[in-house]
Chain A
Amino acid sequence: MFISWGIIQSAVELGLIYSMVALALFLSYSMLNVCDLSTDGCYTLGCSVGSMVALTGHPVLALLAAIGSGICSGFVTAFLQTRMKIESLLAGIIVNTGLYTINIMILGKATVSLNDAPTVFTWMKKVLAGTPLADCYKLVVALCFVILTVLFLVLFLRTRLGLSIRATGNNKDMVRSSSLNPTTMITIGLCCSNAITALGGCLIGEYNKTCDINMGTGMVTIALASLIIGETIFGKKTVPWRAVGVVIGAVIYRIVVAVALRLNMPATALKLVSAVIVAVAISYPTVVRALALQNRRLSTRGISLYRILQAAFAALTVLFILLSVFTSGSRPLMILLALLCAVFLILMITADRKERRDSHAGA
């Protein structure tokens, strides 16, 4: 079978665990409006700290240790950008670089195996042995942690402290005039988000039974891609709705990855795909506005820009599909490009429809 239940299940498990990182970015990026580039290093930090503690035979203590390490990392990032006035992107990059050495020091070598150590997953396997849920013990663990994290975020963001953090990302002046200190809010927010990131890293370590120094590379982009997929599908309505959307976005991302891997796409291409998703999604509103403007300008000369672009993308899609059939070497790349062109084609069609509807409403 092309896609088996097993593949879907492990994609959902991975998606749920990775969604912890996306939820952390939901707090720092969507709520606090800080792009925290220390995510990559913090994720690995959580995994290394957790792995070393898990190797001593305390898998639950490992999770707590990971959370603690995440809080420390978040505090340093926040300290650099608030008290030391380092640009927030740069502060994240600095911490990320420093964490690489720290992670190597913690692990002692580049890769540590957890094969013999008890983890929360093996523990759950024992608990569920003999019950109908025995086959999806990993899913149960992942689901529990994600539900706890979502609940924590939703309840936390409703409190006065949570509201203050949201307001800090919205309008710092207003926070100051409500006699709250934005510095404190950014610090608390980044400590919380990095704690969640590190917890996610620790869980992935226990899930894969391995911790690698390079496991975090590109994590911030992947998590942002999940976040954006979730917010595109679920919209930006209430906080609980958005948080659930982020989790589902992460799961969708992992399912897409699983399908892509089934299509023999090289695993290394995935980072490019997530980079493209993030870049396109964030620039999407600007491009749409520019296109709409050009379309209106050209329509006075009787030319429909959308029509031309639709034809172009349709032709490219067909071309890449044909190429993928008739060439053997770079088939995955061709399939990837065909998919991308198809997505752009759909976007052009929806934009054209919207434009027509709006102009009808205007007339």
Chain B
Amino acid sequence: MLVLDNVSKTFNPGTVNSKTALDRLSLHVLPGDFITIIGSNGAGKSTLFNAVCGEFYPDSGTVTLDGRDITWLPMHKRAAAIGHLFQDPMRGTAPGMTIEENLALASGRGGWFGTISRQDREFFRERLAELDMGLEDRMKQPVGLLSGGQRQALTLLMATVNPPKLLLLDEHTAALDPATAEKVTELTERIVKESNLTCLMVTHNMQAALDMGSRTIMMDAGRIIYDTSGEERKRLTVADLMDLFRARTGAALDNDRMLLR
């Protein structure tokens, strides 16, 4: 499905700020995998996502998606196959445009000169109703009026309205209050299951990292230091994860947003 082969990226090379964000990282994602990613600050979790979605081109190594080498493909051309959600709920939607206009752009229905048809509206209404946030009755309202949680749910819908090959979730519930975060997490799990999406999720919630998905990887200093799935993963506890991290890096897992619950 997604294969990263020896991908490296150094920011500001040759300066005092030089930072190796990815260090010969290799990762093989199987179709239908739901991988949760944990790691300390600056471990390279977001950089990994940015390498996959094309925010920058890697210094070395290749990125392959579904058998196609996408290492040098510009970001907007990958976007059809890759959905990407960020921590900032403002990033995925156009605030000055209405909900239906945002959805129309994301769904890409009709030609360049097509307009939003009645069928499109009906389709959007059904999909919005599934979010259970009352957004289906506010389709003509600008997205800027929605709350962070509503915007993030809408972004999730926009990213998955055409099921992507790969869904990247970069702490997409971190900026939401606990109740809303739980709701968006629930939605995420449901949508991923319904469309049978392959999904990578960065999280700061250790328990969620173990509860959600089918595989967990731990990152440090631009490398994957631990990769677990199946029976072994089922037996893991948060305390085990902390111990594993300390054993492999010689330091305590340190993340300023971390939830240990």
Q: Which residues of A contact B (CB under 8 A)?
A: 158-161, 163-164, 166-167, 169-171, 173-182
Contact = CB atoms under 8 A, between A and B. Distances in A.
Contacts of B116: 158
A327 to B, nearest CB: 48
Contacts of B112: 159-161
Nearest to B158: A178
* Range of interface residues on B (Cβ < 8 Å): 20 to 34
21 contacts: A158-B115, A159-B112, A159-B113, A159-B115, A160-B109, A160-B111, A160-B115, A166-B94, A166-B97, A167-B101, A171-B94, A173-B91, A173-B92, A174-B92, A174-B102, A176-B79, A177-B159, A179-B78, A179-B79, A179-B80, A182-B76
Given A160-B112, A178-B108, A179-B108, A167 B76 contact: no
Contacts of B78: 179
Contacts of A178: 79, 105-106, 108, 158
A169 B95 CA distance: 10
Contacts of A177: 79, 83-84, 92, 159
Main secondary structure of the interface of B (DSSP, over half): loop
Contacts of B105: 160, 163-164, 167, 174-175, 178, 180
Main secondary structure of the interface of A (DSSP, over half): helix
A174 B79 contact: no
A164 B110 CA distance: 13
A167 B111 CA distance: 17
Interface string B17-42: 00000000000000000000000000
Interface in B57-84: 74-80, 83-84
Given A170-B96, A177-B79, A163 B91 contact: no
Contacts of A169: 96
A167 B97 contact: yes
Contacts of A180: 76, 105
Nearest to A158: B115
B150 interface: no
Contacts of B106: 178
A160 B78 CA distance: 20
Contacts of B110: 160
Contact of B113 (A160, A167, A171, A174): A160
Given A163-B101, A166-B97, A171-B91, A179 B113 contact: no
A160 B114 contact: yes
The 5 closest A-B pairs by CB, nearest first: A170-B94, A179-B79, A179-B80, A167-B94, A171-B94
Interface in B133-169: 158-159
Contacts of B104: 160, 163
A179 B76 contact: yes
B8 interface: no
Nearest to A172: B94
B93 interface: yes
> B76, B77, B84, B116: which has the most chain A beta carbons within 10 Å?
B76
> B83, B93, B111: which has the most chain A beta carbons within 10 Å?
B93
